[in-house]
Amino acid sequence: MDAIACTGLTRRFDTFTAVDSITLNVAPGQFFGFLGPNGAGKSTTIKMLTGLLEPTAGKIQVLGQDFHAGALDLKRQLGVVPEGMALLGRLTAPEYLHFVGQMYGLDPVTTKQRTEELLDFMNLANERKKLITDFSHGMQKKLALAAAVIHAPKVLFLDEPFEGVDAVAAGTLKSMLQGMIHRGATIFLTSHVLEIVERLCSHVAIIHKGRIVANDSLENLRSGVTMDGVSLHGEAGTRLTLEQIFLNVVGADQASPAQELSWLA
Amino acid sequence: MAGVSGTGVKASAQYRAVARIRWQILRNSLRRSRGQFELVARVITTLVFALTWGAVSIGLGFLAWQSALLGHLSILPLLLWPVLVLWQVTPIMLASFQENVDLSLLLRFPVRFRSYVLLYLVFGLFDLSSLMGSMVLIAIWLGLVIASPSLFWIATPALALFGLFNLLLTRMIFSWIDRWLAQRRTREFLGILVLFAVICLQLLNPAVHKHSALFGHLQQSAVFETVTRIQGFFPPGLAAAAIAHHHVEALVSIGTLVFYTLAAGALLSVRLHAEYRGESLGEASRLSVTTTAPRLPPVLASTAQPAAHAHVLAAIIRKELRYLSRSGVMLFSLVAPLVLVFIAGGSSLAQDRQALKYALPVAVAYCFLPLTRQVCNSLGGEGAGIQLYFISPTPIRTVMLAKNIIQVGLFALEVGLASIIMVYRFGQFPFGLVTVTLCWLLFALPLQLAVGNLLSITMAYRMTLTRLSREEGATGNGLVSLLVQLVTFGIGVGLYLCLNLMGQVRIVPAVLLALAICSFIAWRTLLSRVDTLAMDRRESLIATLVRPA
């Protein structure tokens, strides 16, 4: 049984197809990186997988059950950090975590205890009285991640969790996510920071123009796997970095002729 | 920097850019049916106000014409004071549903302070209150000049200056209210100030009525003379004096009016300068210390259990109360109408026996107004937090139910306070009228909540909880919600009047109770379908509420 499985997942906005019949399988306990250039369809896919967006076509299964926006029991097993972070700006961090805990059905005592642990862990304990709206972007990201894990989800969806997060905080988040993987959780992550994906993820899929153009274990991708006729091989005998893989797969028609902006100093 | 002149960015180019972007925003908004509806709503609102103010303009213009013709220019203050009051009160009335542009967004660009001020004032010129106020002043000016062309040279600058003063005063009041409502300490100070003003007005009222017997011979009355003298020191009196008097007196009045205008401008400038410098109106301290070393990840125990309904409801209610207590704007909108009820209770209009008879139902119906935004745009303040409701296992039904509970509580509080004010002012009301009012409430409240839940999902707009500014979508939502309130009130009034005419006034409560059962069923039915409705609309809801400013 896959932790996440989608078949023929499609989303159209009028005549524009943002996600075009993609099929993905993420095994339990996998740290899955979902990459792609801007506008490739990453966020649209993660929104469909978390119930924030209705697919035009296709089927989604999470933890072996059909997933749709009304699948409340299934949602209890999921943690999500969506694109907009889903924070309530006029609450303080403890108030927000307490609120989220209760929304996920945790009893007040457990919620309180986990709130304290998470605030401590995320280095937010000194910011107890500050409204979330006054937090820096990085602090908001940490809080959003804390809220996504307070109910100990089995599957975690993270949309750009490291965007705007400093190196120290990124280290904290990475260690937490790795800890979750060791405990058997599944993580589905989108990121532009290829180094982070390379270090954390065991499997990677690359989406380009709404279609999956690479999807395998990082190890296989590094050693050179052909997909849709695109060779991922680098120099003979060398192992590719994720950046090289990414550029090989999506770079061909992304690269524009070398130009200079004459008006820049 | 290539392409940028040595003296910096040209202000005129920036003005053109702002005008162009406003036009493009309007044009793009028309691509969606919601945007088209919004435009229609705005046109209707403008027409309603234009008709009302048009009638006022004709009336005051005619009075000005007569006063100039008969040489009774001393009545001019009586024409100019209502202009000032309407000009200043209209924006507060419109604030609950009209879109206002938050110009502080421009500060990220290299905009000069004077350009920022100018843009702020230009946007103010297009406010309904400014347009309508100007219309009345033009009517008064026309009345004066047609009757006595020689007044042209003094009426033109005096009324233009008076208009400018009003424009600056409105913008100044708004900017300072925004400032005061943003922080707890100043919010409390403003609250005390308002309370003090209300008490003063209440003390003033009996004093005026006590001396009302003297008003038969107004010219001889010392009170009237004092009031006339005092009002002469204020802008409407000064503008009138400038027109009515000649030479030195007129110049002194114009000079003093210039002083008032400059003072309003200076106070506005102080506020705008603080905004321009990048002042943050947040309540949190600027310093944040993060010294604690990260520890190991918390041990997260088993997955959450099905949410206990009561716990979730309590959590949402607690969150709503926290939001309310931290939003000066929301608190202001709750308190301001009560203040008006308090003031109206002491007005001379309230001495009318017929008006007195229906004071209670009118006050109770009026209590729906302050809750319009909370009820009809209950998701508007969530911002990005709206996503939480869609990713969490809590049904939207529970969220809306919790919000409805809060709304009923707030409404009960408003009605309770308004009733106390009414009873304090007028004594006990007839039992029959109280019963009818209560039965009407039982009908109106569930209906308002049902419509509110529907509008909150289908016509949501983003609310800024710390400023009086409103975003796109506010006009359409506001107009529909006001229309529903009018219809609900109309049903009650119509029913009462019809059955009263038929001599069947006793059955009014029974009919209203039957309607109340229908509206309760409507509320229940809608609440049970709110999840489907919200899921169908989630994309546009998220897009509307989460989008960056």
Q: What is the ipTM of this complex?
A: 0.82
**pLDDT higher than 80, residue B340:** no
Looking at residue B463, the DSSP 8-state letter turns out to be B
* Among B385, B393, B463, CA closest to A85: B385
Q: Using the beta-carbon criterion (under 8 Å), do A134 and B298 form an inter-chain contact?
A: no
In angstroms, the CA B478 to CA A80 distance is 34
**In Å, how far are B132, B296, B386, B524 from B450, measured between CA atoms?**
35, 48, 20, 8
Residue of chain B nearest A171, judged by CA positions: B294
> Which residues of chain B does A102 touch, with a Cβ-Cβ cutoff of 8 Å?
307, 311-312, 314-315
Percent of chain B past pLDDT 90, that is, above it, reads: 31
Is there a domain that residue B272 lies in? yes
Note whether residue A262 is domain-resident: no
Query: Which residues 461-490 of B have a C-beta within 8 angstroms of A?
Result: 465
Backbone angles phi, psi at A119, to 5 degrees: -65, -40
Is A240 within a domain? no
B318 interaction partners in chain A (CB closer than 8 Å): 99
What's the token pair of residue B84? 């000032």
How would you list the strands of the sheet with A16-26, edge to edge?
A16-26, A4-13, A57-62, A65-66
Q: Are residues B228 and B338 in the same domain?
A: no
Give me the residues of A, 61-80, that contact B with CB < 8 A: 69-70, 72-73, 75-78, 80
- What percentage of chain A exceeds 90 in pLDDT? 46
Percentage of the residues of chain B whose pLDDT score is greater than 70: 77
Mean pLDDT of B108-137: 83
For residue A24, give the nearest of A250, A218, A216, A249 by alpha carbon: A216
Residues facing A24 on adjacent strands: A6
Contact A64, A4 (CB under 8 A): no
Q: How far is A36 from chain B (nearest CA, A)?
A: 22
Q: Per-residue pLDDT averaged across B450-456, rounded? A: 94
Residue of A nearest to B466 (CA): A90
Q: Does A224 score more than 60 pLDDT? A: yes
Q: Give CA–CA dist A222/A232, Å, rounded.
A: 8
Q: How far apart are CA A259 and CA A244, in angstroms?
A: 22
Q: Considering only residues 149 to 178 of chain A, which have any Cβ-Cβ distance to chain B shorter than 8 Å? A: 149-154, 171-172, 175-176
Residue B285 placed within a domain: no
Residue with tokens 């913008």: B171
DSSP string of B121-155, one letter each residue: HHHHHTSHHHHHHHHHHHHHHHHHHHH-GGGHHHH
Tell me how far apart the 2 most distant CA atoms of chain B are, in Å: 89
Binned at pLDDT 50, 70 and 90, residue B349 comes out as: low
Among the ranges given (A17-21, A247-251, B215-219, B386-390), the one the predictor scored with the smallest mean pLDDT: B215-219
DSSP letter for B470, please: B
Q: Is B289 in the A-facing interface, judged by CB distances under 8 Å? A: yes
For residue B203, pLDDT beyond 60? no
What is the arithmetic mean of pLDDT over B138-142?
94
CB A45 within 8 A of CB B385: no
* pLDDT score of B510: 93
Same domain, B331 and B430: yes
- Model confidence at A63, in pLDDT bands (50, 70, 90)? very high
**Boundaries of domain holding A27:** 4-220
Judgement on whether residues B239 and B337 belong to the same structural domain of the protein: no
pLDDT, tens digit (0-9, with 9 covering 90-100), for A101-134: 988 888 889 999 999 999 999 889 998 888 898 8
The verdict on pTM exceeding 0.90 is: no
Exposure pattern of B226-265 as b/e (b: 16+ CB <10 Å)? eeeeebeebbbbbbbbbbbeeeeebeebbebbeebbeebb
Does B190 map to a domain?
yes
**How many angstroms away from the CA of A92 is the closest CA of chain B?**
10
Q: Say if B354 is an interface residue toward chain A (CB within 8 Å).
A: no
Q: Per-residue pLDDT for B198 more than 70? A: no
The confidence score (pLDDT) of residue B6 equals 41
Per-position b or e across B320-335, b if 16+ CB within 10 A of its CB:
bebbbebbbbbbbbbb
pLDDT band at B427 (very low <50, low <70, confident <90, very high): confident
Number of domains in chain B: 2
CB B441 within 8 A of CB B515: no
Q: Which residues contact A220 (CB under 8 A, 6 or more apart)?
A: none
Most confidently modeled range among B289-293, B297-301, B349-353:
B349-353
| pLDDT value at A100 more than 70 | yes
Confidence band, pLDDT 50/70/90 cuts, at residue B45: confident
Q: Is the pLDDT of residue B303 over 60?
A: no
* Summary mean pLDDT of chain A: 86
Contacts of A152 in chain B (CB under 8 A): 300-304
Structure tokens at B117: 């001020």
Token duo for residue B510: 């029974």
Chain A residue numbers with beta carbons less than 8 Å from the beta carbon of B528 are: none
Residue B285's pLDDT is 43
- With both helix axes pointing from N to C terminus, report the angle between B396-426 and B359-366 in degrees, rounded to the nearest 10: 150
DSSP character string of B92-120? HHHTTTS----GGGGGGS---HHHHHHHH
CATH of residue A58: 3.40.50.300
Looking at the domain assignment, is residue A264 inside a domain?
Answer: no
- The backbone torsions φ and ψ at residue B101, rounded to the nearest 5 degrees and listed phi first, read -90, 130
B278 touches chain A (CB under 8 A): no
Number of H helices, E strands in chain B: 22, 0
Q: Which of B298, B306, B538 sits opposite A52 (nearest CB)?
A: B538
| Identity at B412, one-letter amino acid code | A
Distance from CA of B133 to the nearest CA of A (A): 37
Distance from CA of A150 to the nearest CA of B (A): 7
Instruction: Compare CB distances from B391 to A75, A121, A171 and report the shortest one's residue.
Output: A75
In a domain, A265, yes or no: no
Average pLDDT over residues B499-511: 88
Q: Is residue A258 part of a domain?
A: no
Q: Assign B40 to helix, strand or coil.
A: helix
Residue with tokens 């419509």, as numbered in its chain? B451
Determine the Cα–Cα distance for residues A245 and A233; give it in Å rounded to an integer: 8
Residue A255: inside a domain: no
Beta bridge partners of A92: A131
Domain range for B382: 309-546
B259 in reach of chain A (CB within 8 A): no
> Cβ separation of B391 and A263 shorter than 8 Å?
no
Residue A227 lies in a domain: no
Q: B179 or B469: which carries more pLDDT confidence?
A: B179
Q: How far apart are CA A121 and CA B346, in angstroms?
A: 59
Question: Based on the structure, what is the number of domains in chain A?
Answer: 1
Residue B287 banded pLDDT, cuts 50, 70, 90: very low
Q: What is the pLDDT of residue A34?
A: 94
Assess if residue A208 is contained within a domain.
Answer: yes
**Are B61 and B198 contained in the same domain?**
yes
Q: Is B314 on the interface with A (CB under 8 A)?
A: yes
**CA dist A40 to A18, A31, A228, A254, Å?**
7, 21, 17, 11
- Residues within 8 A of B (CB atoms), A 101-130 only: 102-108, 110, 114, 117-118, 120-127, 129-130
Looking from the CA of B339 toward its CB, the CA atoms found within 13 Å total: 18
CA distance B442 to chain A (A): 31
The strand pair at A65-66 and A57-62 is best described as antiparallel
Find the farthest-apart pair of alpha carbons in chain A and give their distance in angstroms, rounded: 62
pLDDT at A225: 52
- Say which amino acid occupies B409: G
The confidence band for B353, taking pLDDT boundaries of 50, 70 and 90, is low
Query: Touching check for B318 and chain A: CB below 8 Å?
Result: yes
The radius of gyration computed from the CA coordinates of chain A, to the nearest angstrom, equals 19
pLDDT at position B482 is 86
Q: Where are the alpha helices (DSSP H) in B345-467?
A: 353-357, 359-366, 372-376, 386-391, 396-426, 431-458
pLDDT grade, residue B138 (50/70/90)? Answer: very high
Of the candidates A214, A197, A194, A196, which has an alpha carbon nearest to the alpha carbon of residue A205?
Answer: A214
Strand A155-159 versus strand A186-190 pairing type: parallel
Q: What tokens appear for B463 in the block?
A: 């609310």
Dihedral Cα A211, A181, B389, B325, nearest 10 deg:
-130
**Count of CB atoms situated within 10 Å of the CB of B337:** 20
Q: How far, in Å, CA of B44 to CA of B476, rounded?
A: 10
Around B508, how many Cα atoms within 13 Å sit in the side-chain half-sphere?
Answer: 26
Tens of pLDDT, residue by residue over B468-494, are 655 666 778 888 888 889 999 999 999
Give the residue-averaged pLDDT of B107-127. 79
For residue B352, the model assigns a pLDDT of: 60
Instruction: Answer whether B383 sits within 8 Å of A89, measured CB to CB.
Output: yes
Of the two residues B350 and B125, the one the predictor is more confident about is B125
Q: Two tokens at A243?
A: 């950046």
Query: Does residue B250 sit in the same domain as residue B339?
Result: no
Instruction: Identify which of B289, B327, B539 has the shortest CB distance to residue A53.
Output: B539
Same domain assignment for residues B536 and B394? yes
Q: Is residue B74 part of a domain?
A: yes
